Amino acid sequence: MTTALPRSVSALVARASDPGFAAWRRNIVRLGGCTNPIHLVGAATVYDTTTGAALLSYGSDAYGGRLLTACGNRRATVCPTCSALYRADTYQLVRAGLVGGKSVPEAVSGHPRVFATLTAPCFGSVHTRRERDGRVPPCRPRRVDDHCPHGTPAGCRERHPADDPRLGEPLCPRCYDYVGAVLWHAFAGRLWHRFGLELRREVARRAGLTRTEFGEVARLSYAKVAEYQRRGLVHFHAVIRLDGPDGPDSHPPGWAKVPLLVDSVRAVVGRVRLTAPGSEVVGPRVLCFGTQVDVRPVTLNGRTAGERPASAAAVAGYIAKYATKGAESAGAVDGRIHHARDMVMLPVRAHVLRMISTCWWLGGLPEFAPLGLRRWAHMLGYGGHFSTKSCRYSTTLTALRQARADHRAEQQRDAFGLPERSTVTVGQWRYAGRGYSPEAALLAASVRESGGRHGA
């Protein structure tokens, strides 16, 4: 008895008999398992910049009709392969600002630096799970007769398992300040900006300097990432470093110490405030960071005297990990919502749906139109960047990608036997679609499972 092959397998077998199979296969394998490649049609020519002679010409016909290029998406839920590359680049960027390398001097490892976590404030009690000494205490113990104004119990005595779907859900949705939560997301980027300004003022004050004098002898640099909590709100993880006036290339002044930076961060977080505008139906909100603040010194090996330190490698890995995540880690969706009717079928929990609905409602009010809340409803109102850094913290993602492109260009010259002299590639490409055909998807999956180690 014979069993019919799946359509994708049959298509792949038929494709293997085509004369251009080798070029088609090479086109897919070179993507390393990207899940949603971009199709390009066009041609390019490699010129010798010294003589102006054309050394090599190639077009999409050499790749089975279309040249495929990786999507480059940073989200792990969209493309695990491209997000892994983005995570690796972010790790190198953050680590270079802690221990040197990538054009950053190694002396930067001796500069004062801390790893700070800034949380969102409380907009209402939610189900939570905390482990203490290996034990899980009750969620929110209260008296049995303690209820909110809507008659819902104000506490929860359950010990939630890690996979409990109620984690992050409000105890009483009607008590939860969804408007405040959405507005906090909308202004979180500005709140961080104000935190940076106030931190410079605080460090200068503790050093006995004016802001102008501080700028002449020192500089604050940072790299941060936004992480979604189960309750659907972001908190920021940041590496904050104190340098000399020229950034990592200059030594910080003698008064610049880790304890001074730790105390300054804690003092500033508690007093940064920002007022969000209101409307006829929504009152203004005074926005701030949450009371839970964690500030740790960063060392090379994670060991030092004093309070809990963090190693440079662990901090870089932690920030890089969350640089590839988005609101989907809190149960939201990873694509924009274009119509109100689309919210009916969203596969999200009740709390997330209320956040999205609040974004859509506020976004329709004239007073909140500049915030673009409907555009960022799938992000629960947060429209800021997930990973950012100050100008002089370390290298850039662009520099890391350019170095990788230069390395690949050198490999290409060697493969085609081109001379080792200056060359430039001039081409014209246009977008022609994205994704895989069934047989190509099957081949890409095998490449992905093998870690992209298939030969070209």
pLDDT at 101 over 60: yes
Pairing between strand 387-389 and 310-311?
Answer: unpaired
pLDDT at 456 over 50: no
- % helix, strand, coil for the chain, step of 5: 40, 20, 45
Residue 207's pLDDT band (boundaries 50, 70, 90)? very high
Residues 6+ apart with CB under 8 A from 443: 12, 25, 28, 29
By three-state DSSP, how is residue 293 classified? Answer: strand
Residue bearing the bigger pLDDT, 436 or 449: 436
pLDDT at 95 over 80: yes
Per the CB < 8 A criterion, the answer to whether 250 and 237 are in contact is: no
What percentage of the chain reaches a pLDDT higher than 90? 53
Per the CB < 8 A criterion, the answer to whether 207 and 363 are in contact is: no
- What is the mean pLDDT of the segment spanning 170-198? 95
Phi-psi region of 206 (alpha: psi -120 to 50; beta: other; left: phi over 0): alpha
Residue bearing the bigger pLDDT, 247 or 409: 247
In whole angstroms, give the CA distance from residue 156 to residue 161. 14
Pairing between strand 387-389 and 54-59?
Answer: unpaired
pLDDT of residue 331: 86
Instruction: Kindly report the pTM of this predicted structure.
Output: 0.86
pLDDT of residue 287: 95
Structure tokens of 235? Answer: 């908190």
pLDDT of residue 90: 95
Residue-by-residue DSSP string for 170-181: BS-TTTS-HHHH
Residue bearing the bigger pLDDT, 68 or 7: 68
pLDDT digits (tens, 9 = 90+) for 315-372: 999 999 999 988 888 888 888 999 988 888 899 999 999 999 999 999 999 999 999 9
Q: Which helix (H) or strand (E) holds 195?
A: helix 178-206
In whole angstroms, give the CA distance from residue 300 to residue 317. 13
Place of tokens 């890995």: 317
pLDDT of residue 335: 85
In whole angstroms, give the CA distance from residue 298 to residue 241. 10
Beta strands in 26-183 (DSSP E): 38-48, 54-59, 67-69, 113-118
Q: Which ranges of 296-437 does DSSP label H, i.e. alpha helix?
A: 312-322, 350-363, 397-416
Residue bearing the bigger pLDDT, 144 or 33: 33
Query: Number of helices (H) and strands (E), helices first, in the chain?
Result: 10, 12
Structure tokens of 246? Answer: 């020229």
**Ranges 194-198, 279-283, 353-357, 377-381: which has the least confidence:** 279-283
Per the CB < 8 A criterion, the answer to whether 193 and 199 are in contact is: no
- Output the average pLDDT for the chain: 87
pLDDT of residue 433: 87
pLDDT digits (tens, 9 = 90+) for 403-440: 988 888 788 777 767 766 677 888 899 998 888 876 67
- What is the mean pLDDT of the segment spanning 24-28? 79
pLDDT digits (tens, 9 = 90+) for 117-144: 999 999 999 999 988 888 899 998 887 6
pLDDT digits (tens, 9 = 90+) for 54-94: 888 888 877 777 888 899 898 888 888 899 999 999 999 99
